[in-house]
Amino acid sequence: MGEEVCRAIGADPATELVAKVDIGDSLDLLTEAAVDVVVDFTVLSVARQTLTFAAANGIHAVVGTTGFSAEDLTGFRAAFTSSNALIAPNFAIGAVLMIRFAELAAPHFDTAEIIEIHHDKKVDAPSGTATHTAERMAAASAEWADDPTTHQVYEGARGGVGPGDIHVHAVRMRGVVANQEVILGTTGQTLTIRHDTMDRTSFIPGVLVGVKNVANHTGVTVGLDSYLGL
Protein backbone atom coordinates (compact mmCIF):
# COMPACT_ATOMS: atom_id res chain seq x y z
CA MET A 1 0.00 0.00 0.00
CA GLY A 2 2.86 2.35 0.78
CA GLU A 3 4.26 2.07 -2.74
CA GLU A 4 0.82 2.77 -4.25
CA VAL A 5 0.50 5.91 -2.11
CA CYS A 6 3.98 7.09 -3.06
CA ARG A 7 3.29 6.61 -6.77
CA ALA A 8 -0.03 8.46 -6.54
CA ILE A 9 1.37 11.41 -4.59
CA GLY A 10 4.32 11.67 -6.96
CA ALA A 11 2.02 11.59 -9.99
CA ASP A 12 -0.57 14.12 -8.80
CA PRO A 13 0.24 17.69 -9.92
CA ALA A 14 -1.15 19.09 -6.67
CA THR A 15 1.14 17.07 -4.40
CA GLU A 16 4.86 16.35 -4.11
CA LEU A 17 6.59 13.30 -2.67
CA VAL A 18 9.49 14.64 -0.59
CA ALA A 19 10.34 11.71 1.69
CA LYS A 20 9.79 7.97 2.17
CA VAL A 21 10.27 6.33 5.57
CA ASP A 22 10.75 2.57 5.71
CA ILE A 23 11.19 0.09 8.56
CA GLY A 24 14.30 1.03 10.54
CA ASP A 25 14.40 4.62 9.24
CA SER A 26 14.26 7.55 11.64
CA LEU A 27 11.15 9.72 11.65
CA ASP A 28 13.54 12.68 11.70
CA LEU A 29 13.56 12.26 7.92
CA LEU A 30 10.13 13.91 7.95
CA THR A 31 11.32 17.10 9.58
CA GLU A 32 14.55 17.15 7.55
CA ALA A 33 12.47 17.07 4.36
CA ALA A 34 10.08 19.75 5.69
CA VAL A 35 7.08 17.43 5.20
CA ASP A 36 3.64 19.07 5.34
CA VAL A 37 1.60 15.85 5.48
CA VAL A 38 2.72 12.35 6.44
CA VAL A 39 0.73 9.33 5.20
CA ASP A 40 0.87 6.17 7.32
CA PHE A 41 -0.33 2.71 6.24
CA THR A 42 1.68 0.54 8.61
CA VAL A 43 0.82 -1.41 11.76
CA LEU A 44 -0.63 -0.16 15.01
CA SER A 45 2.59 0.10 17.01
CA VAL A 46 4.32 2.06 14.24
CA ALA A 47 1.35 4.31 13.50
CA ARG A 48 1.16 5.35 17.16
CA GLN A 49 4.76 6.56 16.91
CA THR A 50 4.09 8.33 13.61
CA LEU A 51 1.09 10.21 14.99
CA THR A 52 2.92 11.17 18.17
CA PHE A 53 5.89 12.47 16.15
CA ALA A 54 3.66 14.34 13.71
CA ALA A 55 1.73 16.06 16.50
CA ALA A 56 4.94 17.07 18.29
CA ASN A 57 6.42 18.53 15.11
CA GLY A 58 3.40 20.29 13.63
CA ILE A 59 3.01 17.84 10.72
CA HIS A 60 -0.43 16.91 9.41
CA ALA A 61 -1.14 13.16 9.33
CA VAL A 62 -3.31 10.94 7.14
CA VAL A 63 -3.50 7.44 8.59
CA GLY A 64 -5.07 4.27 7.23
CA THR A 65 -3.88 1.98 10.03
CA THR A 66 -6.72 0.59 12.16
CA GLY A 67 -7.10 -0.72 15.71
CA PHE A 68 -6.59 2.44 17.75
CA SER A 69 -8.23 2.35 21.17
CA ALA A 70 -10.44 5.05 22.65
CA GLU A 71 -7.48 6.00 24.85
CA ASP A 72 -5.28 6.37 21.75
CA LEU A 73 -7.76 8.73 20.13
CA THR A 74 -8.13 10.78 23.30
CA GLY A 75 -4.37 11.18 23.44
CA PHE A 76 -4.13 12.16 19.78
CA ARG A 77 -6.88 14.74 20.16
CA ALA A 78 -4.98 16.32 23.03
CA ALA A 79 -1.68 16.21 21.12
CA PHE A 80 -2.74 17.66 17.76
CA THR A 81 -2.85 21.35 18.58
CA SER A 82 -0.64 22.82 15.85
CA SER A 83 -1.50 20.35 13.06
CA ASN A 84 -4.34 18.01 12.12
CA ALA A 85 -4.87 14.29 11.62
CA LEU A 86 -7.24 12.14 9.59
CA ILE A 87 -7.59 8.55 10.80
CA ALA A 88 -9.82 6.51 8.50
CA PRO A 89 -10.68 2.80 8.72
CA ASN A 90 -11.17 2.76 4.97
CA PHE A 91 -10.14 5.18 2.21
CA ALA A 92 -12.17 3.57 -0.58
CA ILE A 93 -14.91 6.11 -1.29
CA GLY A 94 -17.38 3.30 -2.04
CA ALA A 95 -16.72 1.79 1.39
CA VAL A 96 -17.28 5.15 3.07
CA LEU A 97 -20.63 5.40 1.27
CA MET A 98 -21.50 1.82 2.27
CA ILE A 99 -21.00 2.70 5.94
CA ARG A 100 -23.11 5.83 5.58
CA PHE A 101 -25.89 3.94 3.77
CA ALA A 102 -25.92 1.28 6.52
CA GLU A 103 -26.15 4.00 9.15
CA LEU A 104 -29.10 5.60 7.35
CA ALA A 105 -30.86 2.25 6.97
CA ALA A 106 -30.35 1.07 10.55
CA PRO A 107 -33.39 2.79 12.16
CA HIS A 108 -35.72 1.20 9.60
CA PHE A 109 -34.78 -2.45 10.20
CA ASP A 110 -35.07 -4.91 13.10
CA THR A 111 -32.04 -7.13 12.47
CA ALA A 112 -28.63 -6.62 10.93
CA GLU A 113 -25.39 -8.54 10.45
CA ILE A 114 -22.04 -7.62 8.91
CA ILE A 115 -19.87 -9.96 6.86
CA GLU A 116 -16.35 -8.81 6.00
CA ILE A 117 -13.99 -10.73 3.71
CA HIS A 118 -10.29 -9.97 3.56
CA HIS A 119 -7.11 -11.46 2.13
CA ASP A 120 -5.32 -14.24 3.97
CA LYS A 121 -2.51 -11.99 5.21
CA LYS A 122 -4.74 -9.85 7.44
CA VAL A 123 -3.99 -10.73 11.07
CA ASP A 124 -6.73 -8.83 12.92
CA ALA A 125 -10.44 -9.60 12.97
CA PRO A 126 -12.89 -8.10 12.51
CA SER A 127 -11.61 -5.35 10.24
CA GLY A 128 -11.57 -1.69 11.21
CA THR A 129 -14.19 -1.06 8.54
CA ALA A 130 -16.52 -3.65 10.06
CA THR A 131 -16.13 -2.34 13.60
CA HIS A 132 -16.64 1.24 12.40
CA THR A 133 -19.78 0.15 10.52
CA ALA A 134 -21.20 -1.59 13.59
CA GLU A 135 -20.47 1.44 15.78
CA ARG A 136 -22.22 3.80 13.37
CA MET A 137 -25.24 1.51 12.99
CA ALA A 138 -25.56 0.99 16.75
CA ALA A 139 -25.40 4.75 17.32
CA ALA A 140 -28.16 5.23 14.73
CA SER A 141 -30.53 2.69 16.28
CA ALA A 142 -30.75 0.90 19.61
CA GLU A 143 -33.82 -1.13 18.59
CA TRP A 144 -32.60 -4.52 17.40
CA ALA A 145 -34.40 -7.85 17.73
CA ASP A 146 -32.92 -10.45 20.10
CA ASP A 147 -30.79 -13.23 18.65
CA PRO A 148 -32.96 -16.38 18.63
CA THR A 149 -29.96 -18.77 18.78
CA THR A 150 -29.99 -21.07 21.82
CA HIS A 151 -27.53 -23.71 20.60
CA GLN A 152 -24.42 -23.49 18.41
CA VAL A 153 -23.16 -26.71 16.88
CA TYR A 154 -19.81 -24.99 16.28
CA GLU A 155 -18.75 -22.42 18.87
CA GLY A 156 -18.58 -19.00 17.26
CA ALA A 157 -20.90 -19.94 14.39
CA ARG A 158 -22.87 -16.75 14.99
CA GLY A 159 -19.77 -14.58 14.66
CA GLY A 160 -18.61 -11.93 17.09
CA VAL A 161 -21.04 -9.60 18.83
CA GLY A 162 -20.28 -5.94 18.31
CA PRO A 163 -21.90 -2.67 19.40
CA GLY A 164 -25.68 -2.84 19.64
CA ASP A 165 -25.35 -6.66 19.69
CA ILE A 166 -24.81 -6.56 15.91
CA HIS A 167 -23.14 -9.79 14.79
CA VAL A 168 -19.95 -9.44 12.76
CA HIS A 169 -18.46 -12.28 10.72
CA ALA A 170 -14.86 -12.18 9.50
CA VAL A 171 -13.70 -14.29 6.55
CA ARG A 172 -10.01 -14.67 5.61
CA MET A 173 -9.50 -16.00 2.10
CA ARG A 174 -7.00 -16.07 -0.74
CA GLY A 175 -7.97 -14.35 -3.96
CA VAL A 176 -9.63 -11.28 -2.41
CA VAL A 177 -8.49 -7.86 -1.24
CA ALA A 178 -11.30 -6.44 0.90
CA ASN A 179 -15.06 -6.92 0.67
CA GLN A 180 -17.88 -6.17 3.07
CA GLU A 181 -21.63 -6.55 3.06
CA VAL A 182 -24.22 -5.37 5.54
CA ILE A 183 -27.46 -7.34 5.58
CA LEU A 184 -30.49 -5.74 7.22
CA GLY A 185 -33.88 -7.38 7.64
CA THR A 186 -37.38 -6.51 8.76
CA THR A 187 -40.86 -7.87 8.09
CA GLY A 188 -41.10 -9.18 4.54
CA GLN A 189 -37.87 -7.67 3.24
CA THR A 190 -34.10 -7.53 3.42
CA LEU A 191 -31.58 -4.95 2.26
CA THR A 192 -28.00 -5.87 1.34
CA ILE A 193 -25.36 -3.15 1.04
CA ARG A 194 -22.09 -4.46 -0.36
CA HIS A 195 -18.75 -3.01 -1.36
CA ASP A 196 -15.99 -4.91 -3.15
CA THR A 197 -12.37 -3.88 -3.48
CA MET A 198 -10.61 -5.52 -6.43
CA ASP A 199 -7.31 -3.67 -6.15
CA ARG A 200 -5.48 -1.54 -3.59
CA THR A 201 -5.60 1.39 -5.99
CA SER A 202 -9.24 1.79 -4.90
CA PHE A 203 -7.96 3.49 -1.74
CA ILE A 204 -5.90 6.11 -3.57
CA PRO A 205 -8.63 8.67 -4.46
CA GLY A 206 -9.62 8.83 -0.79
CA VAL A 207 -6.02 9.15 0.35
CA LEU A 208 -5.50 12.07 -2.02
CA VAL A 209 -8.68 13.72 -0.72
CA GLY A 210 -7.23 13.41 2.78
CA VAL A 211 -3.77 14.71 1.86
CA LYS A 212 -5.18 17.73 0.05
CA ASN A 213 -7.74 18.65 2.72
CA VAL A 214 -6.31 17.66 6.11
CA ALA A 215 -4.95 21.17 6.71
CA ASN A 216 -8.53 22.49 6.64
CA HIS A 217 -9.99 20.08 9.23
CA THR A 218 -8.95 21.13 12.72
CA GLY A 219 -7.77 18.50 15.18
CA VAL A 220 -8.33 14.77 14.79
CA THR A 221 -10.99 13.47 12.40
CA VAL A 222 -12.01 9.80 12.40
CA GLY A 223 -13.42 8.66 9.07
CA LEU A 224 -13.40 10.24 5.64
CA ASP A 225 -17.09 11.24 5.76
CA SER A 226 -16.77 14.91 6.54
CA TYR A 227 -14.04 15.32 3.92
CA LEU A 228 -16.58 14.09 1.35
CA GLY A 229 -19.43 16.21 2.69
CA LEU A 230 -21.38 13.24 4.04
Active-site annotation, residues: 118, 122
Q: Give yes or no for a contact between 47 and 65, defined as CB atoms under 8 angstroms apart.
A: yes
Per DSSP, 44 falls in state H
Cβ of 228: how many Cβ atoms within 10 Å? 14
Strand stretches in 110-201, DSSP E: 111-118, 160-161, 167-172, 178-186, 189-197
Show the CA angle centred on residue 94, arms to residues 92 and 95, nearest 5°: 65
Q: Which of 3, 5, 1, 31 is nearest to 207 (CA)?
A: 5
